[in-house]
Structure formats: C-alpha cells, structure tokens
Structure 1
C-alpha cells in the first residue's frame, strides 16, 4: 500500500536529486512559485513594479524637485500539470516473485526527472525558437538574445571560445551578473 502523503514528497525530492538541471543550479525551487502552483487556477497573475528610470536632477537653491512615478506591470504564468498512472495485480506479483509496485516506487522518480527535463527543454525551444504564424513569415522573438556562432564569417569565429562566451554574456546586458547556466547547442557536421 502506498500512502500519498508520504510517497509524493519522497518522489518530488528524489526527482530533484536525479535531475541534472536541478543539480546544476539552473532550476531551483521557490516558495512563491510553489504556492502559485498549488492554487486551483491554471494561470496566475504576478504583479510587479517596473524599474526606476529617468535622470537625476542637479541640486539648486530655490528649485523644486519633480517627483517621478513608478510604473507597475504583471507577468502571467501557467501551471503545467502532468500525470501518469502505473498499476499491477496480485497475480503479476505472484508470477514474478517480486513486488511490481515496489519496483514502480523505486523507478517513478527517475521517470519524472526525465519527463520534467524533456518538458523544460521543450519550453526553452519555444522561448528561443523560431515559429511561423499562420499567414506570416518566420520569426524568432528572442533573436537579439541568441548568439549563433555558425552565422560568423570565419571558421575561427565559429569556435566556442572565451571571446564567444563574453559576446554571449553581453547579450544579457545588466542581467549578466545573474547568469547561472549556459545552454550550448552543438551541431555536428557529417564528414
């Protein structure tokens, strides 16, 4: 018998241990997102304040300062819900001489680690990929944030190097200090 209150947290923890993306630090748990994911709604509004902008003013006597405003906006997220069910019968356990449910319990965390990584890679392809809207032409919305070394003119520029890495970091602008991971897609050409 499997008690969901004990089994589910174990599977979640074990799944994170087995996931290369969790282990690398690229993905981390966040209490706020965990709270949003546990809500019944499929989409979640996440309001935030915009960054401060404008120029500073010189300090002059008898000149009043002009107050600036802070803007606000919101992000909208969705919760990705996935499910899978396994089962076995007493007859299968008797014929196999082992407990199939124990085997399922031992293997389920590995299944979810692979499934979650596959889902994340599909999301990243969607974010950074190219698509063609119906009746339109191919577009890559994040093109200004992608460094494609294969588009370089010289063979030397097509090699992953320290300068190529620095060029890629420059695409992040002010956010490059927050870099925690790097996605590198290597295309091999047949000889």
Structure 2
C-alpha cells in the first residue's frame, strides 16, 4: 500500500489497519509467493457466512466405456456425477499490547512495532495451519498409501525423490512445480550438490531449484529428530482466503491497567485447504472450533477424489545430524514482559 494511502502515524485506524495487515501478510508469505498457495474466491465468498465449514461442490470427470453404434439399439445416456469437499473456517484472534511505561523505558515506539510486525505474525500462523493440515492429511491411511513415500532410513536423494513423484502415476511429469523442505534438508541437498542453481552469497534468495522445481525453505516443515518430511507441490494445490469480520480490528485503552496500557486486537476468518481433500463426514470438533491437535489427525480428513488428483506428495528422508540445527539449552531464568496481553495464547489453528 502506497505511503500516500497509509502511514504508521495512523497505523491503528481499524479501517486502514486490517487491509494493511492482510496485504503485508500476502507480500511476505513464501508459500503464497511461490504459487503453492493461491487465493481461492470460492473460499472467500463463504468465510463470513454462517456455519463452521466451507462447502465446495465439484463435478467428476466423464467416465465409462463407449458403446457400439448400431441402428438396433438406443444410445444410453450417462449422467454427470458430483461431489463436495468441506474446508475449515478458522476464526482467529490475537491481541498485542504495550504499557505507557514500556515506551518510555525502551525508547521504542510499541505501536509502530506492533503495526509493522502483525503481518509477519499472521504469516507464521498461516504456514503453521497449512503444515498441521498436511500432517493430518498424510496421517490418513488412504491418502498416505497413495501419496507418501517413506524412505526415512535413507538420505534425501534422487531415487527417493523420483519414487515420491511416481505416486502421481502418468501425471508425474506434469503436476509438480515446487518442493518445500526444512533448512536441514536444504543444507544436505547443497552438500550433495543437488541444487540446480545456487548463487554464492545469495543462496537464501532464491533458494535455487531441484529437478526443475523451485525450492521453498521453511523451518516449520517437519523435522522429527533426524527424519525430515518434504512436501512436493503442484501449482495451486492449496486454496487460501482471509476476511476481516465486523470489529476485525479494535484498539482498547485501559487507563488503570499496569499504569496505563493500550491493546491492539486483530480478529479474522481464514481458510486454507488442500484441494482434493475434505473434512471427514463424521468429524465434529470437540470444542467450538478445531484445534491444532485435531488438524493433525488422519481421521479428521478424507480424500474426495482419486488421490492422484491431490497435487501434493510427501517424502520422508534421513538427515545427517551435522545439518540438524542445534537447540539452545534451556535456562531456568524467565524473561519478563511489558504487558499481560503478550501472554495471550496463539490461535488454536
């Protein structure tokens, strides 16, 4: 958004702040920018309507064998078959706040920090939701049988990669265009000289290509001990949309709280959906909305079409421990926060 239309001086004017955050989210989301996730109007049109789910009808391809053409038999007429897939609506809210004293002590402008970083916060949430969905989808037995190649005893390599895309059958050379990997997998790929194009000193952008596929590197991609799951995507394999409801952004002033505190509250409704899958017919969330744990269950999902038409495949491979990032040792001390609102929990999904 151009400076003439928006500036940080009026960053928390709700009518400006909501679209600003949505635009910033889109601009910085590498899954959206890579073409893995695409804006889906059919999702967006239903986000603010009643119901906890989005329903997307589809028409199956034409099927059946041709008949012999004679003048003794009537021609049979086959009908079209249809189906529908269900997607979750994620109703999410996050509040960040700052005390009057925090600004005086730190010398920073807390309102400016919140305004400029709220978009990046939602990017991380978007990516987490997508990866939680993928974990559940590939935990579904039918989908995993068709679309997951588990080679976790062996290192990431050309053979395992080819075995993974072979899950698409005769569509394997027409479907995939992107591969999302953990940074540890990416480091191993570089060590094995598997990257098609790596510019010295600029390897982080772009990340290069592997077998003609653009590489997307994100540390939210699963890495369990030394076993990494890489996802191979077709363009437009995931639909996405986000909407700001009434009172989507509010600024709350609590004059007596902590000596004076200002809270910025952002509400939104979001959908991200792997096309070709559906929320299982018999799934009902335990609470008011689906949780992260429920998203990652195979029983939450089902395939509504031939699994080959799900344009994502998963590849599990072993990663050399030298490339696995080391975790920082936990300290017994705890840091303090300038506001209680920073303790607000991350949206469940």
The TM-score range, normalised by the shorter chain, is 0.7 to 0.9
Q: Please state whether the residue corresponding to 2:58 is helix, strand or coil.
A: strand
Distance 1:164 1:140 in 2: 20
Q: Per the alignment, in what secondary structure is the counterpart of residue 84 of structure 1?
A: strand
| 1:27-176 mapped onto 2 (5 Å cutoff) | 27-129=37-139, 141-150=143-152, 159-161=156-158, 163-173=159-169, 176=172
Structure 1 spans left out of the alignment, 5+ residues: 131-138
List structure 1 runs of 4+ shifted beyond 4 angstroms: none
Aligned residue number for residue 13 of structure 2: 3
Aligned-partner Cα distance in 2 for 1:140–1:57: 33
Q: 1:88 is paired with a residue of what secondary structure? A: strand
Bigger relative contact order, structure 1 or 2 (CA pairs below 8 A, ≥6 apart): 2
Q: Which has the greater radius of gyration?
A: 1
Shift of 1:108: 1.1
Provide the TM-score with structure 1 as the length reference. 0.78
Whichever structure has more helix as a proportion of its residues is 1
- Aligned residues of 2:58 and 2:82 also touching (Cα < 8 A): yes
Conserved 8 A contact 2:60-2:81: yes
1:67 is paired with a residue of what secondary structure? Answer: coil
The Cα of 1:188 is off from its aligned counterpart by: 2.1
Number of aligned residue pairs? 177
TM-score by length of 2: 0.45
CA contact (8 A) 2:56 2:86 kept: yes
